[in-house]
Chain A
Amino acid sequence: MAASPSGNAKNRELSLPTSRIRTIMKSSPNVENIGQDSLLLVTKATELFIQHLSRQALKQVEGKAEHIDYKHLAEVVQTNKKLDFLKGKYLC
Chain B
Amino acid sequence: MADDEDLTLPRASINKMIKEILPNIRVANESRELILNCCTEFIHLISSEANDICNQQSKKTINAEHVLQALDRLGFGDYRADAEAVLKDCKAVAAKRRMQSTRLENLGIPEEELLRQQQELFAKAREEQAAAEQQQWAQLQAAAQLMSSMQQQHASEEGDEEDYS
Contact = CB atoms under 8 A, between A and B. Distances in A.
Contacts of A43: 86
Name the interface size band of chain B: 35 or more
Contacts of B89: 12
A12 to B, nearest CB: 4
Interface stretch (B70-78, B107-115, B144-152, B156-164): B70-78
B66 to A, nearest CB: 7
Contacts of A49: 38-39, 42, 76, 79
A89 B39 CA distance: 12
Contacts of B71: 41, 45
B83 interface: yes
Contact of B22 (A30, A37, A47, A58): A58
A42 B35 contact: no
Interface stretch (B8-16, B95-103, B120-128): B8-16
B9 A17 contact: yes
Given A12-B86, A35-B62, A66-B26, A50 B79 contact: no
Interface of A: 3, 5, 11-12, 14-17, 20-21, 23-25, 27-35, 37-38, 40-51, 53-55, 57-58, 61, 66-70, 72-74, 77, 81-82, 85-86, 89-91
Interface of B: 4, 7-10, 13-14, 16-18, 20-23, 25-28, 30-31, 34-35, 37-48, 50-51, 60-64, 66-68, 71, 74-76, 79, 82-87, 89-91
